[in-house]
Structure 1
Amino acid sequence: MGEYELVDLCAGVGGLDLAARSLGMPGVGIEWDVDACTTRQAAGLATVKGDVRDFGPADFPSANVLVSGPPCQTFSVAGTGAGRRALEDVQHFTRRLANREDITACLAELDDERTGLVLEPLRWALDAIDDDHPYEAIVLEQAPTALPVWEEVGRALLAEGYSVAHGVLNSEEFGVPQTRRRAVLIARRHGTAALPKPTHRRYRKDSSGAGNDFALLPWVTMGEALDRAEPFIVVSNYGSGGDVRARGRRTSTEPAPTVTGKIDRNRVMTEDGSDLARLSHSEAGCLQSFPADHPWAGKNIPLQIGNATPPLLAAHLLAASLDLDHSPAQAGTDGVE
């Protein structure tokens, strides 16, 4: 592997940073949330506490890999929807930014300031290009509704000489014991960008994880991920399509439903309907593919967990972006596999 160093914008608790560390790549994350920074510090992740809009590539001159999982609440079906309402505006702002226009005032007028953070990676990428130190690879992930933004960002990067791939990935197809869909973008300065290939089968309700596709591993179940002695059922607080009236039920032989910041409200029951202990912070983290002993700290830990990028998925994304030969499953992510 070449000499790579990562800078992570809107780094959260560090799912992408943990993946980088598992792949032997040093890096630093920029994060403004004090509680996420507390967890990052406990996990030994290099962190700059602050707003990514106050920094740029020149502040991290040795970084040659740019990654970001900007806040997705406004784009998520579980959030307020400010990002979805502003989607056309954001796409328009993306094109203006690609033309090197100053859009700061325009972004400040959006209903939710977090929505504009989705364009910070492009600002950083363009500034690095203009400073003649372009990033070797760029990895971005967000809620699926942000895919049109990544497509627009991709067009801007293509015009700057990058190879680009984007799409929506299913986390359980990469060994994460959870069905979580993410819009991703991978850009490469050299070589051909491509999304990572699934290692596990896609979850389909009322079907077996074993399946007939022997080229792929079975999906990872909650029962395999969590150290619980008996079978159980999880009733999700997050309803299908964001409708709380359509709360999903998953057995321990299935992946978890999407982990959100309200995962502590999920009921856990026996097969006969008796209540069991709800998911601990450690267990909720495991369903995001964090190690069981990850040192969660600070306030509102369920929200920290729900907002995180699954480290195992992140490791696949980073390996694909840098064309690494070895498998992230063997890279020491300490996630389930």
Structure 2
Amino acid sequence: MTSSAHHRPILDKPFVLDLFAGPGGLDVAGHALDIPSLGIEWDRSACLTRYAAGLETLHGDVSAVRRNSFETLPPDVNVLAGGPPCQTYSVAGHGAGRQALDRVKKYIERLMAGESDQEIDEDLKTLPDPRTALVLEPLRYAIQATRSPNREHRPYDVIVLEQVREVEALWKHYAKVLEETGLPDGTRYKVVVDVLDTETYGVPQTRSRAVLIARREGLGEPSLPSPTHRSYEAKEWNRRNGKKAAGQVHQATLYDDTEPAAEEHRATGDQGLQPWRSMGDALANRVGSHPGRRTPFLVRSNYGSSSNPGRRGVRSDQQPAFTVTGKISRFVVFQHLDESVLYEGARFSMNEAGMLQSFPPDYPWSSTAQAQQVGNAVPPLFGTHLLSAALGLPRPDPEALRKPWQPATEEQRAKLRSDGCGAADACTDSCPRPEDQVPPPSSVRPRKSKDKKASAK
């Protein structure tokens, strides 16, 4: 189900609580739609980027905030949003989350039955990777809202969630219990779930995301955002451009372009849809401090293709980017010295990597692990479509995200950090420590033996 041309806002004053907020993808989307938000983020570097960008932030662990300080959250928050960490579910990870899907579904049912948090927390300790349990937090926040005296026990009106496509099965289970069982207090929601491709919403990148949009009963039927751009189809591109690309690729010791699952969940019926947006289109023009990339280029990804880790995919500036991950800074960019010779040019700057994610130019990426911040973020343009559909707003204007971002002043940044960390220029004892959320040893992060065999081929 996709949204129709008719729009009627369902909330007078939407206010978003963004769980696992990262460097600000959904918050930037809210900014473009003039919707206030508060993000909860445990990573110090991402918080510093958020402060520099002028985004309201609480530097905290999402689980700890729910347990210990939920009553301090603004009571007028009526939209719950977030993208829980995906490492244990992603095909690029070790798969602990995918292997625990059935167990996680049972935890969902236990939460909806009103079982105590203490009992569930104790059982969750047995999961091989504790990050797997974080996908339950949005549901736990929805339940906690109905138990909060500070909120007068009011449930959230809207819930918007996104994750890697492998989480679609869990979102469908979320939908089932939200519609049929309801929260322990009896609140029920109308829910839609699907996997959407970000390039069909104007993001210059192929990235498939499992999406859930829920509205509290009485607020109308929810719908998914209608696509604005055509789907990128690798086989069709290769059929039309294969011979030319093959000659260029050979010179750079590259391979053909194929990205796993890139062609599934295509938008149907492309009448009136714009062509997908290419890397060249996104990066060609000078804007803000970005000098522009007008020279044609090829990009070799840093991760495997067609389930083969040793086969590096390649795309040209006339195609959308591969899924932007924390390895974006390692993507090799080849430019043409003349019509027949390629040479290795400058790799993507963080500003350019952010633009491929649809962040505005000059977004103030800060502190360390900036490439990881970029890769972990929700593409803001995609976020504007999700929030608009969830709240019954008109289709967003992509131009709002193509203007240089105005960073916070030093005074504003200090105030934001004081509110978020407890001090204007430092973290405090209330801030989470990075060592408290490190991944478990690789010995307990299972990887199927057949995956190892595939890697060796």
Q: What's the TM-score once normalised by structure 1's chain length?
A: 0.94
1:110 aligns with 2:127: yes
SS in 1 for 2:105: helix
Shift of 1:15: 0.3
State how 1:131-142 maps to structure 2 within 5 Å. 131=148, 132-142=153-163
- Within the candidate set 119, 123, 148, 2:169 is matched to 148
Once residues 389 and 321 of structure 2 are traced to their aligned partners in structure 1, the CA distance between those partners, rounded to angstroms, is 25
Aligned residues of 1:164 and 1:188 also touching (Cα < 8 A): yes
Q: Which moved more, 1:3-12 or 1:125-134?
A: 125-134
Q: Is the 8 A contact 1:175 1:220 kept in 2?
A: yes
- Work out the number of aligned pairs and report it: 333
Deviation at 1:55, TM superposition (A): 2.3
Letter aligned with residue 53 of structure 1 = S
Aligned to 1:225: 282
Q: Cα deviation per residue 1:33-69 (whole Å; 9 max; x = unaligned)?
A: 0000010011000000011112245332110000011
Q: Which residue of 1 aligns with 2:81?
A: 67
Shift of 1:4: 0.8
Q: Does 1:121 align with 2:138?
A: yes
Q: 1:278-336 CA deviation, whole Å, 9 max, x = no partner? A: 11101111110001110000101000101110000011000011111x22125723379
Residues 11-36 of structure 1 show CA distances to partners (whole Å, capped at 9, x for unaligned) of 11110111111111111000000000
SS in 2 for 1:270: strand
Cα distance in structure 2, aligned partners of 1:241 and 1:335: 36
Give the conservation status (yes or no) of the 8 Å contact 2:298–2:334.
yes
Q: CA deviation at 1:89?
A: 1.1
Counterpart-to-counterpart distance in 1, 2:24 and 2:356: 15
In the alignment, the residues of structure 2 paired with residue 242 and residue 273 of structure 1 have an alpha-carbon distance, to the nearest angstrom, of 27
Aligned to 1:9: 19
Partner of 2:346: 277
Q: Which residue of 2 aligns with 1:323?
A: 392
* SS of equivalent residue, structure 1 residue 25: coil
* Distance in 1 separating the partners of 2:129 and 2:320: 32
Alpha carbons of 1:40 and 1:321: their partners in 2 closer, same or farther (altered >3 Å)?
same
Whether 1:167 aligns to 2:194 is yes
CA deviations over 1:154-185 (Å, ceiling 9, x no partner): 11211322110011010000000000000110
Deviations 1:66-122 (A, max 9, x none): 001110111111112111121111111111111122311122221222111110000
Please tell me whether the aligned partners of residues 175 and 312 of structure 1 are also in contact (alpha carbons under 8 angstroms).
yes
Q: CA deviation at 1:7?
A: 0.5
Q: Which runs of 5+ in 1 are unaligned?
A: none
Amino acid at match of 1:33: D
Letter aligned with residue 135 of structure 2: V
Q: Which residue of 2 aligns with 1:334?
A: 402
Aligned to 1:300: 369
1:5-84 paired onto structure 2 within 5 Å:
5-56=15-66, 58-60=71-73, 61-84=75-98
Aligned partners of 2:381 and 2:398 also within 8 Å: no
What is the rounded CA distance, in whole Å, between the counterparts of 2:143 and 2:21 in structure 1? 20
Rounded to whole Å, the distance in 2 between the matches of 1:12 and 1:137 is 20
- Moved >4 Å (runs of 4+): none
For residue 176 of structure 1, give the secondary structure of its aligned residue in structure 2: coil
AA aligned opposite 1:152? H
Say whether the 8 Å CA contact 2:333–2:346 is kept in structure 1: yes
Larger Rg: 2
Task: Report if the CA contact (8 A) 1:286-1:335 is conserved.
Answer: no
Q: Is the 8 A contact 1:19 1:312 kept in 2?
A: yes
2-structure distance, mates of 1:237, 1:335: 29
The verdict on how the C-alpha distance between 1:16 and 1:288 changes in structure 2, with shifts beyond 3 A counting, is same
User: SS at the partner of 1:274?
Assistant: strand
CA distance in 1, matches of 2:123, 2:129: 12
Structure 1 residue 259 displacement after superposition: 0.6
CA–CA distance in structure 2, aligned partners of residues 198 and 335 of structure 1:
22
**1-side partners of 2:47 and 2:307: how far apart?**
29
CA RMSD of aligned residues (A): 1.9
Measure, in 2, the Cα distance between the counterparts of 1:81 and 1:149.
15
Q: 2:198 touches 2:205 (CA, 8 Å); kept in 1?
A: yes
Using the alignment, how far apart are the partners of 1:15 and 1:221 within structure 2?
20
Structure 2 unaligned regions, length at least 5: 1-8, 183-187, 242-268, 284-291, 405-457
